[in-house]
Structure 1
């Protein structure tokens, strides 16, 4: 196993909750944990895909991890066999067990071997780059949020490169605040991007600017706020959207939060019903990344400010199908506030 990895980060016990398992999946960055019984013997595996399917079938994050797991995990008893098994199919980690079935090592393959081919999706990408970025003030007094650098590149270009990697090179960018600076940056950029610009005459919120795209985008498209990066499988997200015939698919990230206090639930007359010491709360949060059908554009009023969540709520109310595609918390990087911007820099650059 890679010397920087630890067995502890890949193993949970059979009493662990789904939330606890997801914390380790985020920590080890390989998208999988293995479940052991009280004797330390391997009994199941759990991937982020298993968790996603479980939640989409109605499961909850506070349930036991074993309920969502694969009860027939693959394993080997030698490094040689692990290498052979790893290359036969699309595995990310192979557990190596002793004669009793206890995990003693993990084979994660060579880094170069783990790079997977990504389908070229050729889907339009719409980026909302019109906001003032008030949470990053006073930095945004000088630069518009899309041009704030994360390393050598501004955030908007990092976003665009992530879509280019997935075969999406048709960009539609909605601008307003300091729009000429943004346009000038790309005009003078050595890399030529295929961009259509849409100028807001007044601020239209996170969703209203889409009204400018009517009759301009006629295919299913990705829609992203200009302060988030997603390191996930875009092809799977698009496949989920189309197979389920959604009009909007919201990409949401698992988040876990430890309350640093003991929590008490009470009933009538102050009777204590339950006490939890520093409980872990799990939830799904909107990443600001969506897959959208062009028919949604027809439902957006021209030049009327509106948030995109309000557009989703309208589509839901009139009976059109809207859904969530869950991703790991670490797959989502947000730069909307200074602490999150520093986290993004650290995650991307190790700064």
Structure 2
């Protein structure tokens, strides 16, 4: 049982601050209290995601989105065995422990038993991994290795990507190639692997979306697309469920990132008169992780006579009034190892 409760926020907190709290705690849930520290309810990343998909912004208060119906255990009734039983029976990841409406501790079934928030379902969608780029952000080592084969904690980075998807029972992969493609094919041919992998070799550098068009005859109605140098470490089943529920053509997995500007921001009005200064303000924004769920219809909008990236595809779908949706994840769920600064961070996150 936890006595030092770090996943605690006030009910007038903004969504942006709630996301930062989720990023900073090992828990998958936030506990909400009022000014008098009375316990009011719980908030998860799923609650935040649903709010952002409606009309909420990062500055919206959590007051109207947190879950006010909750299961708890009174302090004088607490035993570890009872807490485990209640978590199992109600299929929840933890229990707030209360004393006269005040939260005194939190029992984390999620962390103590090292479980996933949801059981990982076996998925049948294939994965297209885009691995044909030159890896310019990883020079000089990418002058020797193609980026997908650059080692990360003892194995090539592309193996970490495939390992994540194989946790969901996925065993069908397509890899688009160009730069040093012979090394990539030789590597996978040498593996004793439990999955199938097919290659599509670009006749020229076609861009991240252009190369997918080469697989048009081999892909089913829905499939997953991923960069070779990142992982969106969230529940893949949730992403697919939202994609199908929204009946969208393309779902873009977006991570809410927080960046502090290292300078004072000047606000001014016409004529240059300064109205205020903000010292080292923080910007929060959703960024594209490079992971997508796609309907095969998107292939009709890919151009193959020039470099055509996923950004071009997204813009073209929007121009044609076709549905493209975000799936929001928090900052710590996005692991990028495609540039040196993030690579060093990934060494601590990827095992």
TM-score, normalised to structure 2's length?
A: 0.92
Q: Distance in 2 between matches of 1:161 and 1:34?
A: 33
Alpha-carbon separation, structure 1, partners of 2:273 and 2:10? 34
The answer to whether the 8 A contact 2:256-2:328 is kept is yes
- Inter-CA distance 105–341: structure 2 relative to 1 (3 Å threshold): same
Picking from 315, 322, 325, the partner of 1:323 is 325
Among 45, 48, 51, the alignment partner of 1:48 is 45
Number of aligned residues: 345
Native 8 Å contact 1:211 1:303 kept in 2: no
Other structure's SS at 1:339 match: helix
Q: In structure 2, do the counterparts of structure 1 residues 36 and 289 end up closer, same or farther at CA, with 3 Å as the change threshold? A: same
User: CA, structure 1 residues 14+112, in 2 after alignment: closer, same or farther (shift >3 Å)?
Assistant: closer
Moved more, 224-233 or 264-273: 264-273
Q: 1:40-119 counterparts in 2 under 5 A?
A: 40-78=37-75, 79-80=78-79, 81-99=82-100, 101-109=101-109, 111-112=112-113, 114-115=115-116, 116-119=118-121
Counterpart for residue 295 of structure 1: 297
Q: CA 1:264/1:16 → structure 2, altered by over 3 Å: closer, same or farther?
A: farther
- 1:263 deviates by 3.2
Q: Does the 8 A contact of 1:119 with 1:235 survive in 2?
A: yes
Secondary structure of the residue that 1:186 maps to in structure 2? helix
Unaligned runs of 5+ in 2: none
CA distance in 2, matches of 1:131, 1:231: 23
Distance 1:127 1:193 in 2: 14
Q: How far 1:272 sits from its partner (Å)?
A: 5.0
Counterpart Cα distance in 2 of 1:41 and 1:275? 36
Match of 2:217 in 1: 215
Output the TM-score relative to the length of structure 1. Answer: 0.92
Relative to structure 1, the CA distance from residue 2 to residue 106 in structure 2 (aligned partners, 3 Å threshold; closer, same or farther) is: closer
Question: Would the alpha carbon gap of residues 85 and 317 (structure 1) be closer, same or farther in structure 2, given more than 3 Å must change?
Answer: same
Shift of 1:191: 2.1
Query: 1: distance between equivalents of 2:147 and 2:291?
Result: 17
Q: Deviations over 1:45-97 (max 9, x none)?
A: 21100100000011001122323212333322133353332121221221112
Task: List aligned pairs for 1:139-150, cutoff 5 A.
Answer: 139-150=141-152
Match of 2:288, SS? strand
Q: How far is 1:315 from its partner?
A: 1.2
8 Å CA contact 2:206, 2:304 repeated in 1: no
Match of 2:25 among 28, 43, 49: 28
How far apart in 2 are the matches of 1:36 and 1:154?
A: 45
Secondary structure of the residue that 2:346 maps to in structure 1?
helix
Q: Secondary structure at the match of 2:13?
A: coil
Across the aligned residues of Structure 1 and Structure 2, the Cα RMSD in angstroms comes to: 1.9
C-alpha distance in 2 between matches for 1:2 and 1:131: 46
- Give the deviation of 1:209 after TM superposition: 0.5
- How far 1:262 sits from its partner (Å)? 4.0
In structure 2, relative to structure 1, the CA distance for the partners of 1:168 and 1:224 (3 Å cut) is: same
Contact in 2 for aligned 1:228/1:288 (Cα 8 Å): yes
Tell me the CA shift for residue 27 of structure 1: 1.4
Farther-moved stretch of structure 1 (274-283 vs 215-224): 274-283
Which residue among 10, 18, 22 is the counterpart of 2:7?
A: 10
Moved more, 211-220 or 73-82: 73-82
Q: Is the 8 A contact 1:94 1:106 kept in 2?
A: yes
Unaligned ranges ≥5, structure 1 = none
1:274 to partner: Cα distance: 5.1
